[in-house]
A = this chain, B = another copy of it.
Amino acid sequence: MNVADLSPAQARERFRAGERVPTAGWCRGWTQANLIAVPRRLRYELLLFAHLNPQACPVLDVGEPGAWSTPLFPGDLRTDLPGYRLYRDGEPVADLGDVVERWRDDLVPFLIGCSFTFERALLAAGVPVRHLELGTNVPMYVTDVACEAAGSLSGPLVVSMRPVPDELVKTAIEVSGQYPMVHGAPVHVGDPAGIGIRDLARPDFGDAVEVREGEVPLFWACGVTPQAAVMASGVEYAIGHLPGHMAILDARDDDYRVPS
Contacts and interface: CB of A to CB of B under 8 A. Distances in A.
A62 B48 contact: yes
Interface string A50-66: 01000000010010100
A47 B62 CA distance: 12
Contacts of A59: 51
A43 interface: yes
Nearest to A64: B151
Contacts of A51: 47, 51, 59
**Max chain B CB contacts within 10 Å: which of A62, A64, A151?**
A62
Nearest to A150: B62
Contacts of A44: 43-44, 47
A84 B50 CA distance: 30
Contacts of A48: 47, 62
A118 B59 CA distance: 27
Interface string A6-50: 000000000000000000000000000000000000011001100
4 nearest A-B pairs in the assembled complex, by CB-CB distance: A44-B44, A47-B47, A43-B44, A51-B59
10 contacts: A43-B44, A44-B44, A44-B47, A47-B47, A47-B48, A47-B51, A48-B62, A51-B51, A51-B59, A64-B151
